[in-house]
Amino acid sequence: MRRSVLILGLLLASCFSVALRLDHLLQIWAKDMPKKGSLMEVIMGDSRRLLGDYFFAKADIYFHSGYYISRFGGAKEHHEGSGHMAGATEEHEHEDHAGHTDHEEEEHAAPDAPKDWIEAFGRKFYPSEHTHLDEGGPNKHDAVQEILPWLKFSADLDPNRIETYTVSAYWLSQRLHKPKEAEAFLREGLGANPGNPSILFELSRIAASNDKDLDHAVNLLELALAKWKEQEGPKKEPNTFLLEQIYGNLAKLETERGKSEKAIEYLKQLKSLSPHPEAVEKQIEDLEQKKK
């Protein structure tokens, strides 16, 4: 008995000594490692981005009530990085400037014919009709909120994916009438991506349409413009679509604030970027008329 206790004691003492030594070595090693952020980053490393992408795509699939476009072989020119759910937000933006978008063409593309009886039979067991949740889906009532969990998971896994925040904000504020939640989510995104012009733009939209705080909205847009010039400007292929949106909204808000001069300035900037300069020119002329 005494011998066993002695051996046990010796073993414990050895373990304790080894642990102390290893702890010291670990601290030296950890000092040299780059600081890690969230638990997800620590556990998953960069593979979390893949999962984040997957969950973002999942949100799009939910938008289509489970319809996987790739299963049916059609819609090959899928909007890069997003899907119809995100594309729907951009359609909304293009209402003033253009008619159809690519998405509407994709939407009506017929699925490929099944290659054999197995595939034909199999299609009866999963969604095989292209619907959108905001058009009522198969259940004939709006259920857009169903995409939110996947967007939230996507943002948690990849907080640097800007689209997750902007798409969520659109659906939350414009369709689900939850502007406060949209703003909170955008601010979360801004925290992870300081000074991002897309997020600032969306925040300005909420300030203008929901809070009716035009001054705050303009401030946000001006900041977005400055950040765009800083971040996007130097790029080989800058996001000019976002710049159009910023100028367009600035012009609109300045008009509402009664500052026509500033509005015209912004419209002139927009004209050089817009694919429909004649429509913009018309707006400039209207404003100049009103000024008179």
Partner 1 sequence: MFSRINAIAGVTIKELYRRKDFYVIFVFTVLIALIFASINFFNDTNIVRYLKEITLLLIWIASLTIAISTAARQIPAEKESRTIFPLLAKPITRTEFLLGKFLGSWLACGIALLVLYGFLALLARTRDDSWHLLNYFQAASLHWVMLGIIVAFVIFGSLVFAAPSSNGTITFILAVGILLLGRHLNSVALGLSEPGRTIVYTIYYLIPHLEFFDLRDLLVHSWPLVAWGTWALAIVYAALYVAVFLTAASLVFRKKPLI
- Specify the residue, 1 or 39, whose C-beta has the smaller distance to partner 1: 39
Q: Which of residues 135-154 bind partner 1 (CB under 8 A)?
A: 137-139, 143, 145-146, 148-150, 152
CB pairs under 8 A, 24+ apart, for 265-272?
Answer: 270/244
Q: Print the binding letters for residues 78-117 with partner 1: x by CB under 8 A, - otherwise.
A: -------------------------------------xx-
Q: Print the binding letters for residues 152-181 with partner 1: x by CB under 8 A, - otherwise.
A: x-------------------x---x-x--x
Does residue number 124 form part of the binding site for partner 1 (CB under 8 A)?
A: yes
Does residue number 62 form part of the binding site for partner 1 (CB under 8 A)?
A: yes
Does residue number 118 form part of the binding site for partner 1 (CB under 8 A)?
A: yes
- Specify the residue, 133 or 208, whose C-beta has the smaller distance to partner 1: 133
Does residue number 188 form part of the binding site for partner 1 (CB under 8 A)?
A: no
How many residues line the site for partner 1 (CB under 8 A)? 28
Q: Which of residues 197-256 bind partner 1 (CB under 8 A)?
A: none
- Specify the residue, 29 or 125, whose C-beta has the smaller distance to partner 1: 125
User: How crowded is residue 199: how many other Cβ atoms within 10 Å of its Cβ?
Assistant: 26
Min dist CB 122 to partner 1, Å, is 6
Min dist CB 148 to partner 1, Å, is 5
Does residue number 119 form part of the binding site for partner 1 (CB under 8 A)?
A: yes
Q: Which of 108, 15, 125 is nearest to 71 (CA)?
A: 125
Does residue number 125 form part of the binding site for partner 1 (CB under 8 A)?
A: yes
Min dist CB 248 to partner 1, Å, is 28
Q: Which residues bind partner 1 (CB under 8 A)?
A: 62, 65-66, 115-116, 118-119, 121-122, 124-127, 137-139, 143, 145-146, 148-150, 152, 172, 176, 178, 181, 185
